[in-house]
Amino acid sequence: AYAAAKQSALRLVGRPVSTWQDFDACAALGLDAFVGKLHLTPRPGNPVKGMNPAQTIILQLMQMVQNNEDVPKIEAVLKRDPALIYKLLRFINSAGFGSGRDIQSLRQAIAMLGYAPLYRWLVLLLATASTSGYSPVLMETAVVRARLCELLGQTYLPRGEGEHLFVAGMFSLLDRLLGLPMKEVLDTIQLPEQVVQALLGRDGVYGPYLALAEACELNSDLVASLAASLEIGPVDVNKAHLSALAWAQNVAA
């Protein structure tokens, strides 16, 4: 049946590909696509080698932004990586950002962006700077998860909490993207205690929102009960998930 299908114009999709053995078997057959969650499962014998130089600089910048360091100090660190300068200027001058004028200096870019949006941009950039072979699909998953966490909490938590939810969602996959244990990731940057609780045990104020976002990814039977515990209706969960998916498609680092 497989041989006959390969001779036709059909595209062959393997599903559910739930183990790396399944993946290797499907790849050997030459299937066109695979459906599964293997990007969340480390491949045996193929460890990621930790942070690269770009990620180290980004983490340093994130810490500086959190500490409200002076713009010249942040500018000095950015200048150590020409690629980061290019990406920041490209982002600030993009049609999506809509600054309305051409920004050509780092100082102008940082001033125009502001510290909170700069921190979010750095969080996104940290994931895209991964050299892991799984980085594209993991990056998309992390962005959707972060935005979904933020949207789920928008109506139910005080204004300003959304930024913490976004960071919790992004950081929840940084151990995979950086190739480091989560505790080691958390040792590299200071995060609010409630964010740390969410990352380590899905506890605290933000933990249940992160758990709900993860359940949505996996189409888990737990979605209904987790949403009910947060007093979020099924329709609102679906709207938030669709909105997060659409938002992630437009994110360009």
Q: What is the pLDDT of residue 100?
A: 60
Q: What is the pLDDT of residue 125?
A: 83
Q: Are residues 198 and 236 in the same domain?
A: yes
Q: Are residues 63 and 156 in the same domain?
A: no
Q: Are residues 108 and 80 in the same domain?
A: yes
List 13's β-bridge partners, or say none: 33
Q: Are residues 98 and 198 in the same domain?
A: no
DSSP 172-201: TTHHHHHTS-HHHHHHTS---HHHHHHHHH
> Is the pLDDT assigned to residue 32 strictly greater than 90?
no
Q: What is the pLDDT of residue 130?
A: 67
* Assigned domain for 236 exists: yes
Residue with the two structure tokens 């699909």: 137
Q: Are residues 139 and 243 in the same domain?
A: yes
Residue with the two structure tokens 């700069």: 118
Confidence of residue 253 (pLDDT cuts 50, 70, 90): very low
Q: What is the pLDDT of residue 185?
A: 82
Among 95, 110, 129, residue at a domain's last position:
129
Q: What is the mean pLDDT of residues 55-64?
A: 88
Q: Which range among 50-54, 189-193, 199-203 shows the weakest confidence by mean pLDDT?
A: 50-54
Q: Are residues 109 and 156 in the same domain?
A: no
Q: What is the pLDDT of residue 234?
A: 92
Q: What is the mean pLDDT of residues 34-60?
A: 76
Q: Are residues 143 and 174 in the same domain?
A: yes
Residue with the two structure tokens 């130089």: 53
- Higher-confidence residue of 100 and 72: namely 72
* Assigned domain for 171 exists: yes
Return mean pLDDT, the chain.
84
* Assigned domain for 253 exists: no
Tell me if 117 sits within 8 A of 209, measured CB to CB: no
Query: pLDDT digits over 204-231, tens only?
Result: 999 999 999 999 998 889 999 999 999 9
* Assigned domain for 211 exists: yes
* Assigned domain for 47 exists: no
Confidence of residue 97 (pLDDT cuts 50, 70, 90): low
Q: Are residues 230 and 141 in the same domain?
A: yes
> Is the pLDDT assigned to residue 17 strictly greater than 70?
yes
* Assigned domain for 179 exists: yes
Domain count, the chain: 3
Among 96, 129, 162, residue at a domain's last position:
129
Q: Are residues 138 and 125 in the same domain?
A: no
Q: What is the mean pLDDT of residues 156-176?
A: 88
> Is the pLDDT assigned to residue 44 strictly greater than 80?
no
Q: Are residues 60 and 139 in the same domain?
A: no
Q: What is the pLDDT of residue 190?
A: 84
Q: What is the pLDDT of residue 149?
A: 96
Which helix or strand (DSSP H or E) is residue 14 part of?
A: strand 13-14
Residue with the two structure tokens 């713009």: 71
* Assigned domain for 42 exists: no
Domain extent for 16? 2-36
Q: Which range among 24-33, 37-46, 55-64, 173-182 shows the weakest confidence by mean pLDDT?
A: 37-46
* Assigned domain for 151 exists: yes
Among 109, 129, 149, residue at a domain's last position:
129
Residue with the two structure tokens 């059909």: 10
Q: Are residues 20 and 64 in the same domain?
A: no
Q: Are residues 125 and 185 in the same domain?
A: no
